[in-house]
Amino acid sequence: MTELATTGTDLSRLRELNSLSIVRALRQHPPSTVTELSQRTGLSRPAVDVIAQGLVTDGWASVLEPGASSAVGRPARRYQFRADAGHVLGVDVGAHKILALLADLDGDIVHTVRHSVSPDAGPEERLAELDSVIDACVSEAGKSFGDIWAVTVAVTGAVDAAGQTSFFTPLPGWQQVNLASHLGARFTCPILVENDCKLAALAERWKGAARDADDIVYLLGGMRNGAGLIIDGVLRRGFGGAAGEIGALKQVRWLDAPAHLQNCAGVPSTVSPDDAAAWVFNAARDGNRAARAAVNRYVKDLAVGAAALVLTLDPQVVVFGGGFSRSADLVLDPLRKELERLCIRMPEVRASTLGADSVALGALKLSLNEVDDRLFSAGLSAPVAPRRQ
Amino acid sequence: MTELATTGTDLSRLRELNSLSIVRALRQHPPSTVTELSQRTGLSRPAVDVIAQGLVTDGWASVLEPGASSAVGRPARRYQFRADAGHVLGVDVGAHKILALLADLDGDIVHTVRHSVSPDAGPEERLAELDSVIDACVSEAGKSFGDIWAVTVAVTGAVDAAGQTSFFTPLPGWQQVNLASHLGARFTCPILVENDCKLAALAERWKGAARDADDIVYLLGGMRNGAGLIIDGVLRRGFGGAAGEIGALKQVRWLDAPAHLQNCAGVPSTVSPDDAAAWVFNAARDGNRAARAAVNRYVKDLAVGAAALVLTLDPQVVVFGGGFSRSADLVLDPLRKELERLCIRMPEVRASTLGADSVALGALKLSLNEVDDRLFSAGLSAPVAPRRQ
């Protein structure tokens, strides 16, 4: 069986795989000694020692020398993943606001910039505002564009294979906007564009209400309803990027649902249409009968579309997010009752814990996933922002 | 870097992985020479030679010696995967029939047995018929129960984690039936139970209308409608086994759809309710106006539930199968028109190419998948029927 001996190429690949497993073992843990890394990876202590020193040289890891004061016996040096070796951006381009989050490779947010924008703003105005938010976020954090390893932009509307909202978007004039090419003029790193509901779903699984679940239906409840789907732990886009668009089917009543709140009797004329729903939820909480009836009608319609998703996918968890999730206390119980009535297996129904920032957080997470995919598939060189192919 | 040298355990594992890659390289191809296997796997010719001889000894492969007549120069011996090293069963327990298929490890069917059963048959009668179909299928093929490596039984209704149709099934008294325990008294190999629509979807991707697709919505069209979902190439069961049950939502009208055919004016009183739909499809094909209108109403209702699935999942392909797919010539075009109207991205719509046998074929495929999962995860020993854990 001598013919099974590994070749030189095999050994070089083995060395790279071992480096990757040390990076992984560092990344998910607090600073670690060579002994700890050896236990975690199954590699010998001397091998870990050599590899870890190489990772420090390359810039993937830093060394924590044992402090003299903490010395008991002979304390070992510890290695730490350098989360600041690179940074990623997550940006939410909404109807009313643009929000950018800058994070290190651990996903810890180091800077946030939020600008208001008019829902009527045309594409040039919204793109200019996007540029200004990104400029502010990167420069105020003391970074340059070359320090950014991935950018994900969240938009409203299904995102097609070209990264455009060619099917439909409520943002005026936005269907023709090519964000990847617009931002590509400034960034050399990969630029992703994704639907807001899908990214909110990703965020709720990452840091929100569904961290323990692999099968998740995320409902975005607001003046527009939307959905994001995670199946077997993976965000699903569909074949053409249009998964989760059940709201377009009038029979499932999502188009009617918010109108019950906007058209509720008793909303003062001084309350703007945008604020009417909030007024109704508050009035319902105070016992106003018309408002309670409006909320019930809203939930009944919301539940039909939700039931279509639940019956199709049979998820473990339904997360109720979006603007209306601030009133989850009024929505969750009647929503559960309706789903019990309509579905054959009842999922858990939970409120979003991330609120309005979930979309930008999900964008950040998609950027981190992109970095990981490259990091752990393409092999390991010194840390540097990846270039688009 | 000497510390990176592989240990004895590593080498033994490497040898096993190399054996597995040779088995895989044999399994998906016609009889192959050592040179071909070497090219296919990247292993050296002498290594392949040693491993292939071991696989012959173990019973995984057979040798084809070059025939003297075909000798040009010095022809090489070829190795062949022994597809008859084991067999699997796929069984469809339907309302009207029980169908069993026996296949070798290549999925080639070696025997088929089909018995009629009354839709009113109680669980004891149906189980007795199932036993008799399985007995006949195994013994007529000259096999014994110990030769069977996996059994999958298809049933109507969502299958829960325990392998039972506890949510709902139209088979009388069947909700309490525990097929795994019933068949477990006779077989020692793994026994799987799965929903008929899900298995039909699997079959259409394996050998039917959607061999080229990874994102598939399978519609079972008949006196009951159902759906099976394949997403990113994997059959999806949902968290509790109840994925695809959109038909339970009355707003998407699948409960109403078949009634348009059954209640069509002009169906002769001599035609039984079970045969009414076939009569209507035939009459529509002959130009009967009432029948054409009934088919149109059927398709309009079918399309609402289909649109709910398409809008939720955004599949590449919708396959129309089930009993009514014999009349796909009347259904597909109007179904496409309705979906164009209701959906935001249009999938391809195709007719099933497997017809009524798709469910049993899908059961066979699930049995083969089960064998593969064990074969290629647990490591390779001599071929023997696996035992349930």
State the best of A11, A341, A345 to mutate against chain B, taking most chain B CBs within 10 Å: A345
- pLDDT digit string (tens) for A282-308? 999 999 999 999 999 999 999 999 999
Whether the predicted pLDDT of A384 surpasses 80 = no
Average per-residue pLDDT for chain B: 91
pLDDT of residue B5: 43
Whole-angstrom distance, CA of residue B69 vs CA of residue B39: 27
Q: Do A50 and B3 touch (CB under 8 A)?
A: yes
Residue B73 pLDDT grade (very low, low, confident, very high; cuts 50, 70, 90): low
Of residues A150 and A14, the one with the higher pLDDT is A150
Instruction: Give me the pLDDT at residue B208, please.
Output: 97
Mean pLDDT score of chain A: 91
* Subunit contact A312:B246, Cβ cutoff 8 A: yes
Q: What is the pLDDT of residues B344-383, one digit of tens each?
A: 999 999 999 998 899 999 999 999 999 988 776 655 566 6
Tokens of A50: 């050599």
Is A6 within 8 Å of B6 when comparing Cβ atoms?
yes
> Is residue B2 scored above 70 in pLDDT?
no
- Mean pLDDT for A17-30 is 85
**Tokens encoding B362:** 């899908």
% pLDDT > 90, chain B: 77
Give the residue carrying structure tokens 């029939």. B97
Would an 8 Å CB–CB cutoff place B3 in contact with chain A? yes
Task: Express each pLDDT in A308-363 by its tens digit.
Answer: 999 999 999 999 999 999 999 999 999 999 999 999 999 999 999 998 899 999 99
Q: What is the ipTM of this complex?
A: 0.90
pLDDT interval class at A385 (50, 70, 90): low
Domains of chain B: 2-81 (1.10.10.10), 86-200+358-375 (3.30.420.40), 211-353 (3.30.420.40)
Q: B225: distance to nearest CA of chain A, Å?
A: 13
List the single residue in B with minimal CA-CA distance to A45.
B3
pLDDT digits (tens, 9 = 90+) for B186-197: 999 999 999 999
Minimum distance, in Å, between the CA of residue B124 and any CA atom of chain A: 26
The verdict on a CB contact (< 8 Å) between A3 and B50 is yes
Chain B interface test: which of A239, A317, A338 (most B C-beta within 10 Å): A239
Q: What is the pLDDT of residue B76?
A: 84
The single residue listed with the structure tokens 């377009």 is A248
Say if the Cβ atoms of A242 and B314 lie within 8 Å. Answer: yes
Q: How far apart are CA B102 and CA B121, in angstroms?
A: 25
Query: What was the pLDDT predicted at A24?
Result: 85
Q: In chain B, what residues touch A44 (CB-CB under 8 Å)?
A: 3
- Tokens, residue B135: 């007995």
> Residues 311-370, chain B: which have Cβ within 8 Å of A?
311-316, 342-345, 347
Output the pLDDT for position B183: 95
Give me the percent of chain A exceeding a pLDDT of 70. 91
Q: What is the pLDDT of residues A55-112, one digit of tens each?
A: 999 888 999 987 665 556 667 889 999 999 899 999 999 999 999 999 999 999 999 9
Q: What pLDDT does residue A28 have? A: 77
Task: Please answer yes or no on whether A311 and B246 come within 8 Å at the CB atom.
Answer: yes
Tens digits of per-residue pLDDT, A247-274? Answer: 999 999 999 999 999 999 999 999 988 8
Mean pLDDT of B77-101: 94
Q: What is the DSSP string of B189-229?
A: S-EEEEEHHHHHHHHHHHHSTTTT-SSEEEEE-SSS-EEEE
- CB-CB neighbors (< 8 A) of B312 in chain A: 227, 229, 243-246, 308-309, 312-313
Sign of CA dihedral B35, B38, B44, B49: negative
